[in-house]
Amino acid sequence: MHLRRALLLMAVVLGAVALVEAIVPVPRQRRVTERPAAAPPPGVPAPVRTLELRYPARHRPPRRRVSTGAHVVIEVAASAPGQAAVPALGLVQPAEPDTPARFDLLAGRPGSYDVTFDPAAGAPARVGRLEVRWTAPP
């Protein structure tokens, strides 16, 4: 009984696939008017800017400014285990005393982004702020 039901189900599925294939044909070759998309020209990569932050911050948490399109690496060194985060971008990385958290990102949207550290024992704290400013392309 179960075998018949399974065979009937397979036949229905194969029939549905054949019907869809007949209704929506897949193009087999490109038309003459279509051109392949050109690859972007190789450009000079933007220099990487590394922002080194510490937990606990020795003084007032630093504020770093970058332009849109900048390649930024944020490193958060910690004296205690926990998690570093850039909440507005949804980024979270673990950090330990010998292993800093690293965020490798391309500054896209202009805005102000807090960098926080939540130690395993203690209250979370802001360790810095990344400010992305819009710049016109050359």
Angle, vertex CA 118, rays to CA 114 and CA 120, nearest 5? 170
Rounded CA separation 96/77 (Å)? 8
pLDDT band at 100 (very low <50, low <70, confident <90, very high): very high
In the chain, where are the structural domains located? 48-133
The letter for the amino acid at 45 is: P
pLDDT band at 97 (very low <50, low <70, confident <90, very high): very high
- pLDDT by residue (tens digit) across 123-132? 999 999 999 9
pTM of the model: 0.64
| Cα first-last separation, the chain | 72
pLDDT band at 19 (very low <50, low <70, confident <90, very high): confident
Q: Which helix (H) or strand (E) holds 11?
A: helix 2-23
pLDDT band at 59 (very low <50, low <70, confident <90, very high): confident
| Residue % of the chain over a pLDDT of 70 | 82
Count Cβ atoms below 10 Å from residue 24 Cβ, excluding itself: 7
Tell me the average pLDDT across 89-103.
94
The mean predicted confidence, pLDDT, of the chain is: 85
| Residue % of the chain over a pLDDT of 90 | 48
Q: Check if the beta carbon of residue 132 is closer than 8 Å to that of residue 68.
A: yes
- The superfamily (CATH) of domain 48-133 is Cupredoxins -  blue copper proteins (2.60.40.420)
Helix (H, G, I), strand (E, B) or coil at 4: helix
Count Cβ atoms below 10 Å from residue 80 Cβ, excluding itself: 14
